[in-house]
Amino acid sequence: MKKEDRALAWEIIEKRVVEKIEGLSGADYRGQKISDGPAFFLKDLFEKEIPRLEKLKRPQKAYLDTLKGLRQSDDLSAAVSVITKIYLKEITGRLNPFWFNLISSIGPKLFSLVFVRKNIWKIMRNAIFQVSIKPFFRLSGNDELIQELSRKGTLIVAPTHSSNLDSPLLGLGFHKMGLPPLIYGAGINLFEYKFFAFFMNQLGAFKVDRLKTNELYKLVLKEYCTYSLEIGYHNLFFPGGTRARSGEIESKLKTGLLSCGIEAYCNNVAKKQSDKKIFIVPCTINYHSVLEAPTLIEDHLKREGQKRFIISDDESSRPNDIFYFLRSSSKFYLHIGQPTDPFGNRVNENGESIDSSGNVIDIEAVAKSVTNDNENYQWTKKSAREIVASYKRNNVILNTHVVARVLYQEVRQRYPDRDVTELTFLEENRESVDLSVLYDKVEILVDQLRKLHQSGEIICSEDILTRNITGVLQEGLEILTHFHWPSAIRKHGHNLIISNFKLLLFYQNKINGHDI
């Protein structure tokens, strides 16, 4: 959020939070009756935060002392205000137009520089002359439509999420489309690294602390996002919540922040500003190789029921790994799905909401009909279903996914009585697959995928649609053999040795959910 908007935003958001909490006295909240709103929220806050902070090796002393002091306060609404101010100061990003424009202008050169894999002279030539990321960034879908919609309202960009590099890459891609800055929520753990924290702060990232599970924090975060949409800040957020640990396309979404779009538009209508429309833009981003794949799949495979941890030291936190990733991974694929209004209805190029027959819907009347949180929640679920369906239709399948799928299924067929978890404990370098067998099975899978692409159920990359099977196979094997260490597979004569079954599982999971 820009500096000039910050003070007023904090004042309005603080007032809204206090009024909402006071208004819950005597009302139902999340299935239970609340006699005193401020007392309920503060009790929840103290019971969750104080013990958590006391267990930290390096307690946040000022914050902890404030909580302990407020626990003795008689003015509960004032206590809510104090904590709200603390949370707003922590959450708020510092979007700086100067730094945004500067980084966006040099970003393509930096990307093209690191993508050059040969000698120093080519790197220098690239640094001077190469100003396009097009060779490395594949953009498809409704990009022209969202450019038009960005001039008619505020966008909520809702992408799939598989890497911590998603946000900067998406920001760069949308900037190259001529769109204004996107503000986005990023895990607070990412701000522990001063180099990344500087750029993320200047580019408008706001902080999300997933360790704060109290209801007051969630409400402040939600009101921050809602207000930013009302005043015209385009938002980027990941409905899946965190990176997809399994590698699969998201099928279940977090609806908390998704409901902000509905509330923001309803607030605009109440202020007689119904022309300030809000559009949701689902999109998918895919990589031939995911930087954090080994760490993510390890986390996914932890025993069922075991508490997941917040990953703060994976590959995306190490600059050398990021540099190697950018130079080794060939392309990124961003596909823009069909935009909708906050209620899940498709929109046309004029920003009008339309039904399945193309008839215009009176979206203002719909907004006026939403009078409570339950009605908001019902509309949010509808919107979430539309996003999930869009993800599935616009899931871009790459060569890596194809080859990993075939190798994975080959091993599974050898052990029909073992489940996936048991297979991940197979001895490394034990299983091998003949290349000629692999070729035939890749050909069958590619044929199935091309049919699904033609019917609009999935999207195949240009390589899968146009290259021969040998080309598809070679590129998939190249990435699975050389990108990660230890690699997923290694070649031995005419055979492929499976050296990391978990990575095969991660990459083949991208095809899950489709009728293959």
Tens digit of each residue's pLDDT (9 = 90 or more) over 247-262: 999 999 988 778 999 9
CATH code, 137-320+332-394: 3.40.1130
SS3 483: coil
pLDDT at 47 over 80: yes
pLDDT reading at 390 higher than 60: yes
At residue 122 the predicted structure's pLDDT band, cuts being 50, 70 and 90, is low
Phi, psi of 290 (to 5 degrees): -100, 125
* DSSP, residue by residue, 360-407: BP-HHHHHHH--SHHHHHHHHHHHHHHHHHHHHHTPEE-HHHHHHHHH
> What pLDDT shows up at residue 429?
76
Question: Which tens digit of pLDDT belongs to each residue from 276-335?
Answer: 999 999 999 999 989 899 999 998 988 543 544 445 555 555 555 555 555 555 578 999
Return the H-helix or E-strand segment holding 442: helix 435-454
The domain spans of the chain are 3-91, 137-320+332-394, 397-511
**How far is the C-alpha of 224 from the C-alpha of 86, rounded, in Å?**
13
Q: For tokens 């996002």, what's the residue?
A: 225
| Average pLDDT rounded to a whole number, residues 49-78 | 93
One-letter amino acid for residue 36 of the chain: D
In the predicted model, is pLDDT for residue 450 greater than 90? Answer: yes
Residue-wise pLDDT tens digits, 300-311: 988 543 544 445
Mean pLDDT across 104-114:
56
Q: Do domains 137-320+332-394 and 397-511 have the same CATH topology?
A: no
Residue 516 burial by Cβ neighbours in a 10 Å radius (0-12, 13-18, 19+): middle
How far apart are alpha carbons 298 and 245 in whole angstroms? 8
- Asked whether 507 and 401 are in contact (CB, 8 A), the reply is yes
The predicted model gives 175-179 an average pLDDT of: 80
Per-residue pLDDT, averaged over 14-31, amounts to: 92
pLDDT at 79 over 70: yes
pLDDT at position 311 is 54
Percent of the chain residues topping a pLDDT of 70:
88
What confidence score (pLDDT) does residue 309 get? 47
Beta strand 346-347 with 353-354 is antiparallel
Instruction: Determine whether 307 is exposed, middle or buried from the number of CB atoms within 10 Å of its CB (0-12, 13-18, 19+).
Output: exposed
Note the pLDDT of residue 228: 95
484: tokens are 């990660």
| Average pLDDT estimate for 178-198 | 79
**3 state SS of 492:** strand
Across the chain, what does the average pLDDT equal? 86
Strands (E), 291-354: 332-336, 346-347, 353-354
Query: Cβ neighbours of residue 462 under 8 Å, at least 6 residues apart?
Result: 138
| Nearest residue to 284 (alpha-carbon basis) of 238, 329, 328 | 238
State how far the Cα of 109 lies from the Cα of 499, in Å rounded to an integer: 36
Q: Is the pLDDT of residue 106 over 70?
A: no
Sheet bearing 432-434, strands edge to edge: 432-434, 495-498, 489-492
Q: What is the pLDDT of residues 130-163, one digit of tens each?
A: 545 555 678 899 999 999 999 999 999 999 999 8
What's CA 252's distance to the chain center, in Å? 13
Residue 388 has pLDDT above 80, yes or no: yes
Asked if the peptide bond before residue 168 counts as cis, ω within 30 degrees of 0, the response is no
Q: Are 407 and 435 in contact (CB under 8 A)?
A: no
Q: For residue 254, which of 265, 270, 238 has the smallest C-alpha distance? A: 238
Please tell me the distance from the alpha carbon of residue 362 to that of residue 274, in angstroms, as a whole number. 11
Give the pLDDT confidence of 475-510 residue by residue, as tens digits: 999 989 988 878 899 988 888 999 999 999 999 999
pLDDT (0 to 100) of residue 104: 65
Query: Could you tell me how far CA 37 lies from the centroid of its own chain?
Result: 33
CA 457, CA 148: separation in Å to the nearest integer? 26
Q: Identify the CATH number of the domain defined by range 397-511.
A: 1.10.10
Predicted pLDDT of residue 306: 54
Residue pair 112/130 in contact by the 8 Å Cβ criterion: yes
Q: For residue 183, which of 221, 134, 144, 220 has the smallest C-alpha distance?
A: 221
Rg (CA), the chain: 24
* Predicted pLDDT of residue 111: 54
Is residue 196's pLDDT more than 80?
Answer: no
Q: 344 near 226, Cβ under 8 Å?
A: no
Q: Give residue 326's pLDDT.
A: 53
Q: Given a cut of 70, is residue 387 above it in pLDDT?
A: yes
Q: What is the pLDDT of residue 307?
A: 46
Q: Is the pLDDT of residue 372 over 50?
A: yes
pLDDT for 109: 54
Question: 454 by DSSP, 3-state: which?
Answer: helix
pLDDT confidence of residue 322? 52
125 pLDDT band, cuts 50/70/90, is low
- List the alpha helices (DSSP H) in 24-165: 37-55, 61-70, 76-91, 97-115, 120-129, 143-149
Q: Where are the beta strands (DSSP E) in 129-242?
A: 137-141, 153-159, 182-187, 205-208, 234-236
